[in-house]
């Protein structure tokens, strides 16, 4: 009984990692649904409006960075615990999880902060930024496949040569690459239709200009300000 308890305790960080993996994948659709009930509700009030589509894009990117940051924090915590509690290849598995997600945490922080500095006010500039984000997700997905492939090779070589470090690092890279691949592809599948909607608008010649006009719609202004967007005045520039 004591041996069983000790084994269970030593595997606890690994269990947390797997629970966190599936929890994050399930959580993201939930927060996206919450976003749709919140920001997307203005699409009916402002049909075919680039500003609404930009709000959707920014809000989705922010949700994605929050998810990535949560995954990073979970892995840094469990990885640090596992590094000191586990032995053999498990120790290196948790060690790589922690180190890998220090980088993920930095990406999540910079990515979220980047959405706060979005100053695009022309519809074509908004479209260009959204298309670049889609391209970045696809590039990252390709890199994720390389990570997984490299992790499989490293884990296999570690197993063949009885090298705990390579085996543990390889297993960690497989896990991290798999999460990032699912994350990037799912985020792309939701964001790309928003980009496509903006590209298909017949209002490509509309431009948005910053203005200090008095607030005429308090509910809309409050909602948009919550998403860190300025108030704009629509003008036609043929």
Rounded alpha-carbon distances, angstroms, from residue 110 to 26, 73, 74, 86, 113: 24, 15, 18, 32, 5
pLDDT of residue 9: 41
pLDDT of residue 200: 81
Exposure string for 86-102, b = 16+ CB within 10 A, e = fewer: beebbbbbbbbbbebbe
Which class for 163: exposed (0-12), middle (13-18), buried (19 or more C-beta within 10 A)? middle
Give the Cβ contact number of residue 50 at 10 Å.
27
Q: Which of 89-98, 117-126, 149-158 has the lowest mean pLDDT?
A: 117-126
The token pair at 124 is 């074509």
Is the predicted pLDDT of residue 125 greater than 80, yes or no? yes
Give the model's confidence band at 14: pLDDT under 50 very low, under 70 low, under 90 confident, else very high.
Answer: low
Is the predicted pLDDT of residue 64 greater than 60, yes or no? yes
Q: Which of 81-95, 99-113, 148-162 has the lowest mean pLDDT?
A: 81-95
Could you tell me which of 103, 83, 85 has the C-alpha nearest to residue 165?
83
pLDDT of residue 10: 43
Percent of the chain with pLDDT over 90: 47
Give the model's confidence band at 60: pLDDT under 50 very low, under 70 low, under 90 confident, else very high.
Answer: very high
Max Cα-Cα span within the chain: 79
pLDDT of residue 37: 46
Average pLDDT score over residue span 179-189 = 95
DSSP β-bridge partners for residue 233: 209
Q: In terms of DSSP bridges, do strands 232-236 and 206-210 run parallel, antiparallel, or are they unpaired?
A: antiparallel
Helix (H, G, I), strand (E, B) or coil at 235: strand
Given a contact cutoff of 8 angstroms between Cβ atoms, the answer to whether 88 and 95 are in contact is no
Give the model's confidence band at 86: pLDDT under 50 very low, under 70 low, under 90 confident, else very high.
Answer: confident
Average pLDDT score over residue span 211-215 = 35
Give the model's confidence band at 53: pLDDT under 50 very low, under 70 low, under 90 confident, else very high.
Answer: confident
Average pLDDT score over residue span 93-113 = 95
Between 82 and 209, where is the model more confident? 82
Average pLDDT score over residue span 206-221 = 39
Domain boundaries defined on the chain: 2-199
Give the Cβ contact number of residue 153 at 10 Å.
13
The dihedral formed by the CA atoms of 46, 50, 55 and 56, expressed in degrees to the nearest 10? 90
Average predicted confidence (pLDDT) for the chain:
75
Element (H, E) at 209: strand 206-210
Q: Which of 54-58, 109-113, 151-155 has the lowest mean pLDDT?
A: 54-58
Q: Which of 5-14, 33-42, 155-164 has the lowest mean pLDDT?
A: 5-14
What DSSP assignment string belongs to 109-167?
Answer: HHHHHHHHT----BHHHHHHHHHHHHHHHHHHHHHHHHHHHHHHHHHHHHHHTT-HHHH
């Amino acid at each position: 009984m004591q041996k069983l308890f000790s084994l269970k305790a030593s595997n606890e960080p690994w269990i947390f990692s797997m629970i966190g993996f599936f929890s994050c994948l399930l959580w993201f659709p939930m927060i996206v649904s919450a976003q749709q009930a919140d920001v997307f509700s203005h699409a009916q009030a402002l049909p075919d409006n680039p500003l609404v589509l930009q709000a959707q894009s920014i809000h989705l990117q922010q949700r994605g960075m929050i998810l990535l940051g949560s995954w990073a924090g979970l892995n840094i915590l469990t990885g640090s615990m596992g590094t000191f509690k586990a032995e053999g290849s498990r120790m290196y598995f948790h060690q790589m999880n922690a180190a890998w997600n220090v980088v993920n945490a930095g990406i999540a922080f910079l990515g979220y902060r980047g959405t706060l500095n979005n100053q695009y006010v022309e519809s074509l500039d908004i479209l260009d930024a959204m298309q670049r984000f889609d391209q970045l997700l696809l590039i990252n997905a390709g890199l994720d496949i390389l990570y997984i492939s490299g992790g499989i090779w490293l884990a296999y070589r570690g197993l063949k040569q009885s090298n705990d470090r390579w085996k543990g690092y390889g297993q960690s890279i497989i896990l991290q690459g798999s999460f990032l691949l699912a994350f990037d592809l799912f985020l792309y599948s939701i964001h790309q239709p928003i980009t496509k909607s903006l590209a298909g608008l017949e209002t490509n010649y509309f431009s948005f200009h910053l203005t200090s006009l008095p607030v005429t719609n308090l509910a809309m202004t409050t909602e948009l300000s919550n998403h860190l967007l300025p108030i704009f005045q629509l003008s036609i520039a043929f």
